[in-house]
């Protein structure tokens, strides 16, 4: 655990008692703070009590002595409207922060020469894979590395910071919104496309939240920017002009760069020193299929090279990377059909990336749709043998896809899995995949995308273990 001493002797409200909220409450108590913890859901309160936390209903207490509100990132800060807890905090002048800000307080208290390095990873798609890949390379090359943020363990449950350590943090726009003082040694922006627009008041607000990761850096902070999107390319140009060429490094998945790192034609290239040369065959990195993963690999390469890792050592580690759960995760293979769990693809761009990786796809899609069109998937239609639609998005997706590809309304994941599997076995096409890549959130039928992916994985593995169930 990382104790938080910034609020020693003061009262802090913690609202939202999921994994990060419980960890924040415990870390604050360990640092001497007086914690008033609450969750409006009974399940959240039971989790907290099971962890030994005392509860106090923040809806009923006087907020006059509250010095800060630690808010779960899943709770609205500004849009569609501020949560009433946010309004209560504002009324008494208490800052509204998150667990990443508490972590930043802990880091900033350490004398500069003894501080660990902080790597922040953001963007719309690929954050988890890139964060895990950076961590994997650093671990394989002997570094003391910790991974947290929007991935893995709650950040405040990680080991107490030590000199020489490196923290690699996946950071969502929600988390950055609740953070003011995180000074990343290297900040990485992968890409940007419309997502979570309801929580940021539109695309400009969403992009601004991502940009703040760079605004929080000090003069020594370096930036790595994916330049394949118009908006991120403009950000790269602006930061390079403001900070200088040595402080800002571009990455790409499709264009040759004279500096930085890039993927092209299935090869990963290192141009960090100005002379471009291939360092890895991405076709051999089975956990990193597709053009989007070329960008992820190039981004990871650029970051670790800036940390002193050699290109050949990085390439060797990339080849041994086994991938991320729920992100193009092959969970089973049966009768020549591969079952791919891409439950983390909760928006259209992410689903498009997965669809572009396979030639014959029995596609399971749907859930709680976001405010975006499926038009971006038109170039993928030729790869889709049939789509099996589920959840609240079923009728809307059907209207958009009707007449373009073969579709079947299935209602729930179990039905879609059974029908997709049967169709794949009957068609018996070489290289076929049953792909769960929903292009929608999971909250209509599952607690989160992990639960949805776990359900798909269990079905696929049960099918393999009981082949007599396949007619």
Tokens of 102: 């508490």
The class (CATH top level) of 101-319 is alpha beta
**329-465: what fold?**
3.90.190
Q: What is the mean pLDDT of residues 3-24?
A: 97
Q: Where are the beta strands (DSSP E) in 256-307?
A: 260-264, 267-271, 277-281
- Whether residue 437 has pLDDT greater than 80: yes
Mean pLDDT along residues 111-117: 96
Delimit the domains of the chain by residue range.
Answer: 11-97, 101-319, 329-465
Contacts of 199 (CB under 8 A, 6+ apart): 76, 77, 78, 79, 80, 173, 174, 206
What per-residue confidence (pLDDT) applies to 132?
Answer: 96
Q: How confident is residue 72, by pLDDT bands cut at 50, 70 and 90?
A: very high
* Residues 122 and 172: beta-carbon distance below 8 Å: yes
Say how far apart CA 236 and CA 239 lie, in whole Å: 5
What pLDDT does residue 470 have? 55
Q: What is the mean pLDDT of residues 375-384?
A: 95
pLDDT band at residue 372 using 50, 70 and 90 as cut-offs: confident
What value does the mean pLDDT take over residues 400-417?
98
- 64: pLDDT strictly greater than 90: yes
What's the rounded mean pLDDT across residues 448-455?
Answer: 95
pLDDT at position 378 is 95
In contact, 63 and 94? CB cutoff 8 Å: yes
Q: Is 219 exposed, middle or buried (0-12, 13-18, 19+ CB in 10 A)?
A: exposed
Q: For 124-183, how does the pLDDT look when each residue is reduced to its tens digit (9 = 90+)?
A: 989 999 999 999 999 999 999 999 999 888 999 999 999 999 999 999 999 999 999 999
Of the chain, the end-to-end C-alpha distance in Å amounts to 52
Q: How confident is the model at residue 198 (pLDDT cuts 50, 70, 90)?
A: confident
Question: Is the pLDDT score of 30 beyond 60?
Answer: yes
Share of the chain above pLDDT 70, in %: 99
**Per-residue pLDDT band at 197 (split at 50, 70, 90):** confident
Residues 6+ apart with CB under 8 A from 98: 20, 24, 70, 71, 72, 73, 174, 175, 177, 178, 179
Contact between 300 and 224 (Cβ < 8 Å):
no
Where residue 200 falls among pLDDT bands split at 50, 70, 90? confident
> pLDDT grade, residue 287 (50/70/90)?
confident
Task: Label residue 211 by pLDDT band (50, 70, 90).
Answer: very high
Dump pLDDT digits (tens) for 295-339: 999 999 999 999 999 999 999 999 999 888 999 999 999 999 999
What's the pLDDT at 469?
55
Query: How far is 98 from 170, CA to CA, in rounded Å?
Result: 14
pTM: predicted TM-score of the whole model, two decimal places: 0.86
State the pLDDT confidence band at 374, using cuts at 50, 70 and 90.
very high
Chain CA centroid to CA 232, Å: 18
Do the domains spanning 11-97 and 101-319 agree at the CATH topology level?
no
CATH for 11-97, among 2.20.25.90, 3.50.50.60, 3.40.50.720, 2.60.40.10? 3.40.50.720
The token pair that represents 298 in the structure block: 């190039």
Residue 467 confidence (pLDDT): 66
Question: What is d(CA 94, CA 87) in angstroms, rounded to the nearest whole number?
Answer: 10
């Amino acid at each position: 655990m990382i104790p938080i001493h910034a609020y020693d002797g003061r009262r802090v409200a913690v609202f939202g008692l999921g994994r990060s909220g419980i960890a924040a409450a415990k870390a604050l108590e360990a640092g001497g703070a007086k914690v008033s913890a609450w969750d409006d859901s009974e399940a959240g309160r039971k989790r907290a009590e099971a962890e030994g936390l005392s509860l106090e209903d923040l809806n009923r207490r006087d907020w006059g002595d509250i010095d800060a509100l630690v808010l779960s990132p899943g709770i609205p800060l500004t849009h569609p409207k501020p949560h009433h807890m946010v309004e209560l905090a504002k009324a008494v002048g208490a800052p509204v922060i998150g667990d990443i800000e508490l972590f930043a307080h802990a880091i900033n208290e350490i004398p500069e020469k003894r501080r660990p390095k902080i790597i922040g990873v953001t963007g719309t798609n690929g954050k988890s894979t890139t964060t895990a890949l950076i961590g994997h390379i650093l671990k394989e090359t002997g570094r003391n590395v910790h991974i947290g943020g929007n991935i893995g363990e709650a950040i405040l449950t990680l080991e107490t910071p030590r000199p020489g350590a490196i923290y690699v943090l996946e950071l969502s726009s929600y988390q950055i919104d609740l953070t003011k003082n995180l000074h990343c040694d290297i900040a990485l922006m992968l890409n940007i496309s419309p997502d979570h627009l309801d929580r940021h008041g539109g695309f400009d607000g969403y992009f601004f939240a991502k940009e703040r990761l760079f605004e929080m850096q000090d003069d020594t902070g370096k930036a790595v920017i994916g330049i394949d999107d118009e908006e991120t390319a403009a950000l790269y140009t602006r930061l390079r002009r403001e900070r200088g060429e040595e402080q800002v490094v571009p990455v790409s998945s499709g264009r040759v760069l004279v500096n930085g790192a890039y993927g092209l034609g299935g090869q990963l290239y290192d141009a960090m020193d100005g002379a471009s040369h291939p360092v890895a065959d991405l076709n051999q990195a089975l956990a990193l299929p597709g053009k989007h993963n070329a960008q992820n690999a190039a981004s990871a390469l650029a970051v670790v090279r800036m940390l002193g890792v050699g290109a050949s050592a990085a390439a060797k580690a990339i080849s041994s990377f086994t991938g991320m759960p729920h992100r193009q995760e092959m969970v089973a293979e049966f009768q020549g059909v591969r079952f791919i769990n891409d439950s983390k693809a909760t928006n259209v761009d992410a689903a498009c990336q997965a669809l572009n990786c396979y030639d014959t796809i029995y596609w399971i899609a749907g859930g709680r749709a976001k405010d975006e069109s499926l038009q971006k998937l038109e170039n993928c239609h030729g790869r889709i043998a049939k789509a099996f639609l589920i959840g609240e998005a079923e009728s809307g997706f059907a209207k958009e896809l009707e007449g373009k590809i073969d579709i079947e309304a299935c209602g729930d994941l179990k039905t879609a899995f059974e029908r997709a599997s049967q169709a794949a076995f009957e068609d018996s096409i070489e290289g076929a995949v049953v792909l769960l890549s929903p292009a929608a959130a999971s909250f209509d039928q599952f607690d989160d995308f992990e639960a949805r992916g776990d359900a798909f994985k269990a079905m696929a593995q049960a099918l393999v273990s009981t082949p007599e169930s396949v007619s």
